[in-house]
A and B are shown apart, each in its own frame.
Chain A
Amino acid sequence: MLGKGIIKGMAETARNFLGSYVSAERLTTVQYPEQRIPQIEKARQFPFLVFDGDDPMKGLRCVACQICEKECPPKCIYIVKSKDKRVDYKGQMQLYPATFDIDLSVCMSCQICVEVCPFESIKMDTAYELSTTDRFGGLMVNKHQLAKSNEHYRHIHPTDAAASDAALAVEVAKAQAKAKADIEAKAKAAAEAKAKAAVITPVAPKPVAAT
């Protein structure tokens, strides 16, 4: 019959209306500034730049490759490369960001910058009370404000941080192995060259005949 569904719906909402006064379990919301729900581990809000060591500016992992700047859908990242290079965690010479700004008012928390960064240097933070009284300058977050330590990352996203640390450890191990191999290869090459030189000197024309 016409109207049956309406009556059913009205009964349901009436039950909610009255029930919310009797049983507190029905109320799914919390009284926010006083009460807070613990965040889930995957919570994400706004990116930050990871640094290692004690000095935020020296320890930034970011190498100013600008991949994130190009990939960010709303284009809210602004990077200026440095003129000089410095040694990164792998011991290689790398650029670093002279300027790294993210516009808080534009960022949509999509995490794409994090996904594309090949250097584990930008991650999502969980802080959500980001409002400011200065709507022009206050919403432009610079690299000093963005830099947060790796310990902070381990604290807010333990699982992801462990994965990231492992990935970096692999990279470092690879780099070290490569460096070692390089050194060995160099030493070998040098030794060979020496040996060759020693062998070659007396019988000079022989290799030519061999080829």
Chain B
Amino acid sequence: MTESLDQIFVTLKHWLLSGFENLLKWLEVAPPDWLMPLVSMVLSLAPILMVFPALFAITTVLERKGLGRIQNRYGPNRVGPFGFLQFAADGIKAIIKEDLVPRAADKIFHFIAPVILVITAFTVYAVLPFGRNMVAVDLDAGLLFFFAVGAASELAVFMAGWSSRNKYALLGAMRAVAQMVSYEIPLILSSVAVVMITGTLSLTKIVEAQSTHAGLLPDWFVFTPWGFMGFALFMIAANAELNRSPFDLPEGESEIIAGYFIEYSGFKFALFFLSEYLSMFALSGLGITLFLGGWNAPFAVLDFIPSWAWFFAKLLALIFLFIWTRGTLPRLRQDQLMNLAWKFMIPMVLVNLVAAALWHFTGPGWMRWLSSGALVVGAYMLLGKPQFESKDIGKRTYRFAD
């Protein structure tokens, strides 16, 4: 029973596939060679194309409600029960709005930028394992594929900013590129630690490496010193990659209005919005896969809950974390952003790689905890000290004009 519930989607796909085959046989059509793989592919991709946009719709409502509550407001509560149909109203509004293109804009690039953005956002889902045996394409170099495709979104962002012929759009795009390039490095290097330990780039194998339970805690990488630090750095870098608050400089409303997508309206604007959230889910999914044990249950006794349910529970938790930080932290200044990336995050991930190596080569026992933990904590204290310690600038005095 548990087994069948766990594999329900996989079984469903096989069942549909064989049904299709039988149908062809019954119709006495000999399918060409390419047909069956194509159908199999479509059956794998269709759920991704349905589930994640649906999650996007729900997340927009949850985010607005959550942010409202954080600011002691109600948030949307009018459309549908408790306002949960707000996304439908927003969607209809976005679709029926006039699509404006600036006269001076580069029409072609202005059009394809949001398309590329959405395509890259969807493509990375191909390699994410959502549950046991549930991965669309089980690539051997899945992690590499994820980052390679994900990096293309920077191109699309700059394309959008440049083709709009608007000073704010260009400023936003340049900020976005500077930010994404800087934070790509800690993002990738923090996952390299996991690759070093597991010795594989395949995301399914990385999840399998975390499926055992040693003692009280599960063998998730987040429960190791280097894994914990790696996860924290990964999440910060992911936040910056996604241009979400506190790293929302590329679209800083108070300075450059909406940044690179200022000249987009209607459905194209909705596409930007969609891709932003899709990348958020994808990066959260990657974080779960790398550090939080993927679709594994935290305790052996909880294994009866299907693996995909665990994945989505963890995903929702990380989404909540993203919303929570967005509701808490104010936007960084450009120089603070660069300082954080180059003076703290990058040295920190490099130290983290050494800590992971120490962990690996010290062998099991308390020594690895001590050596690796001391390295991580020491580096954190040392690197965090100089620039981020609040300087005592004395009591503030005010001079009023008289």
A residues contacting B by CB (< 8 A) are: 1-3, 5-6, 9-10, 12-14, 16-17, 19-21, 26-29, 31
- Chain A nearest CB from B85 CB (Å) reads 18
Does the CB pair B388–A13 fall under 8 Å? no
Does the CB pair A27–B384 fall under 8 Å? no
Contacts A2-B385, A3-B384 hold; do A16 and B70 have CB atoms under 8 A apart?
yes
Contacts A2-B380, A2-B388 hold; do A10 and B72 have CB atoms under 8 A apart?
no
Among residues of B, the one whose C-beta sits closest to the C-beta of A25 is B72
Question: Which of B69, B325, B344 has the most CB atoms of chain A within a 10 A radius of its CB?
Answer: B69
- Chain A nearest CB from B352 CB (Å) reads 15
- Chain B nearest CB from A197 CB (Å) reads 65
- In the complex, A24→B73 CA distance in Å? 10
Does the CB pair B74–A31 fall under 8 Å? yes
From A1, A6, A29, B329 is in contact (CB under 8 Å) with: A6
Which chain B positions have C-beta within 8 A of A14?
324
- Chain B nearest CB from A192 CB (Å) reads 57
Does the CB pair A17–B66 fall under 8 Å? yes
Does the CB pair B73–A1 fall under 8 Å? no
Interface size, B (range): 20 to 34
Does the CB pair A17–B69 fall under 8 Å? yes
Q: Which of B209-227 contact A (CB under 8 A)?
A: none
Does the CB pair B329–A16 fall under 8 Å? no
Using a Cβ cutoff of 8 Å, how many contacts connect chains A and B? Answer: 48
From B71, B344, B383, A16 is in contact (CB under 8 Å) with: B71
Does the CB pair B74–A27 fall under 8 Å? yes
- Chain B nearest CB from A19 CB (Å) reads 8
Does the CB pair A20–B328 fall under 8 Å? no
* Interface SS of B by simple majority: helix
Per-position binary interface string of chain B over residues 373-402, scored 1 when its CB falls under 8 Å from any chain A CB and 0 otherwise: 000000011011100111000000000000
Does the CB pair B384–A28 fall under 8 Å? no
- In the complex, A5→B325 CA distance in Å? 12
Among residues of A, the one whose C-beta sits closest to the C-beta of B344 is A2
- Chain A nearest CB from B72 CB (Å) reads 5
From B72, B384, B388, A20 is in contact (CB under 8 Å) with: B72
B residues contacting A by CB (< 8 A) are: 66, 69-74, 324-325, 327-329, 344, 380-381, 383-385, 388-390
Does the CB pair A20–B69 fall under 8 Å? yes
From B73, B328, B381, A13 is in contact (CB under 8 Å) with: B328
Which chain A positions have C-beta within 8 A of B325?
10
From B66, B72, B385, A27 is in contact (CB under 8 Å) with: B72
Which chain A positions have C-beta within 8 A of B329?
6, 9
Does the CB pair B72–A26 fall under 8 Å? yes
- In the complex, A80→B71 CA distance in Å? 49
- Chain B nearest CB from A28 CB (Å) reads 6
Question: Which of A2, A3, A9, A28 has the most CB atoms of chain B within a 10 A radius of its CB?
Answer: A2
- Chain A nearest CB from B121 CB (Å) reads 28
Which chain A positions have C-beta within 8 A of B69?
16-17, 20-21
- In the complex, A143→B385 CA distance in Å? 67
Does the CB pair B73–A28 fall under 8 Å? yes
Which chain A positions have C-beta within 8 A of B390?
5
Does the CB pair B388–A28 fall under 8 Å? no
- Chain B nearest CB from A39 CB (Å) reads 21
Does the CB pair A13–B70 fall under 8 Å? yes
Contacts A29-B73, A29-B74 hold; do A1 and B381 have CB atoms under 8 A apart?
yes
Which chain B positions have C-beta within 8 A of A9?
328-329
Which chain B positions have C-beta within 8 A of A20?
69, 72-73
Q: Other CB < 8 Å A-B pairs besides A2-B380, A9-B328, A21-B69, 11 of them?
A: A2-B383, A2-B385, A3-B384, A10-B325, A13-B70, A13-B327, A19-B72, A26-B72, A27-B74, A29-B74, A31-B74
Among residues of A, the one whose C-beta sits closest to the C-beta of B389 is A2
Among residues of A, the one whose C-beta sits closest to the C-beta of B77 is A31
Among residues of B, the one whose C-beta sits closest to the C-beta of A8 is B328
- Chain A nearest CB from B213 CB (Å) reads 29
Which chain B positions have C-beta within 8 A of A6?
328-329
Q: List 11 A-B contacts (CB under 8 A).
A: A1-B381, A2-B384, A9-B328, A9-B329, A12-B328, A13-B324, A13-B327, A20-B69, A27-B72, A29-B72, A29-B73
Does the CB pair A16–B72 fall under 8 Å? yes
- In the complex, A6→B381 CA distance in Å? 16
- Chain A nearest CB from B77 CB (Å) reads 8
- Chain A nearest CB from B45 CB (Å) reads 36
Which chain B positions have C-beta within 8 A of A26?
72
Does the CB pair A27–B73 fall under 8 Å? yes
- Chain A nearest CB from B241 CB (Å) reads 19
Question: Which of B71, B72, B73 has the most CB atoms of chain A within a 10 A radius of its CB?
Answer: B72
- In the complex, A163→B56 CA distance in Å? 58
Which chain A positions have C-beta within 8 A of B71?
16
Among residues of A, the one whose C-beta sits closest to the C-beta of B246 is A6
Does the CB pair A17–B385 fall under 8 Å? no
Which chain B positions have C-beta within 8 A of A31?
74
Which chain B positions have C-beta within 8 A of A5?
390
Which chain B positions have C-beta within 8 A of A16?
69-72
Which chain A positions have C-beta within 8 A of B383?
2
Does the CB pair B74–A1 fall under 8 Å? no
- In the complex, A1→B328 CA distance in Å? 19
Which chain A positions have C-beta within 8 A of B70?
13, 16-17
